[in-house]
């Protein structure tokens, strides 16, 4: 079955044509519209594909819908923020650092190392619930790695937000 779409003189309607027969009118913002070739009713001229999800077909041309673009940008920003938080919270060398409590436990162990008897290592419960012997330097290195990763992830997030602010296609903004 061949599906094409024909524009109408109404900005919120197009005709779905299946195997040469007009099937029904649809709203051009619906999922069904995206990705198919659209033709102008007069002369059966091919219309360029929908440039982005924020574009609507009106009066024979694709027009950027600013409200839809703002909604899509906000949705994408929230998605990027969620991904940012996941990246920051991932374990480091199998040591859990995702919660504030985890990081405070590391800081407390480093700060109170002498009170623990200045041992060569201590037993640490790891992210996967196994145990490992970690030295004070191991914990310092994990703390430093967390801060470094946080700075790197926030810088990348900021760059993605800057790209998003000027993009007409928010879905194209992705983490590397």
For the chain, which residues make up each domain, given as ranges?
Answer: 3-64, 67-172
DSSP 28-67: TTSGGGTTS-EEETTTTPEEPPPSSTTEEEETTEEEE-HH
Strands 122-125 and 61-64: unpaired
For 143, list phi and psi in degrees, rounded to 5.
Answer: -60, -45
Question: What pLDDT digit, counting tens, does each position of 83-140 carry?
Answer: 999 999 999 999 999 999 999 999 999 999 999 999 999 999 999 999 999 999 999 9
* Tokens 């480091």, residue located: 92
| pLDDT score for 3 | 53
CA 137 to chain centre: 35
Longest dimension (CA), the chain: 87
| pLDDT score for 87 | 96
| pLDDT score for 165 | 96
Question: What pLDDT digit, counting tens, does each position of 7-65 carry?
Answer: 554 555 555 555 555 555 555 555 555 555 554 545 555 566 678 888 877 766 778 88
């Amino acid at each position: 079955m061949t599906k094409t779409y024909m524009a109408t003189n109404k900005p919120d309607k197009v005709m779905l044509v299946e195997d040469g027969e007009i099937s029904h009118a649809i709203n051009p913002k619906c999922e069904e519209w995206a990705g198919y070739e659209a033709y102008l009713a007069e002369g059966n001229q091919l219309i360029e594909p929908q440039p982005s999800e924020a574009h609507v077909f009106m009066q024979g041309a694709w027009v950027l819908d600013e409200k839809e673009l703002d909604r899509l940008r906000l949705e994408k920003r929230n998605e990027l923020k969620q991904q940012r938080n996941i990246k920051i919270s991932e374990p480091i060398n199998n040591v859990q650092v995702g919660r504030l409590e985890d990081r405070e436990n590391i800081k407390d162990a480093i700060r109170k190392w002498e009170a623990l008897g200045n041992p060569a290592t201590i037993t640490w419960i790891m992210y996967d619930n196994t145990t490992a012997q970690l030295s004070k330097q191991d914990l310092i290195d994990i703390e430093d790695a967390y801060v470094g990763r946080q700075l790197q992830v926030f810088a990348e997030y900021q760059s993605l937000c800057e790209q998003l602010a000027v993009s007409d296609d928010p879905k194209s903004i992705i983490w590397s």
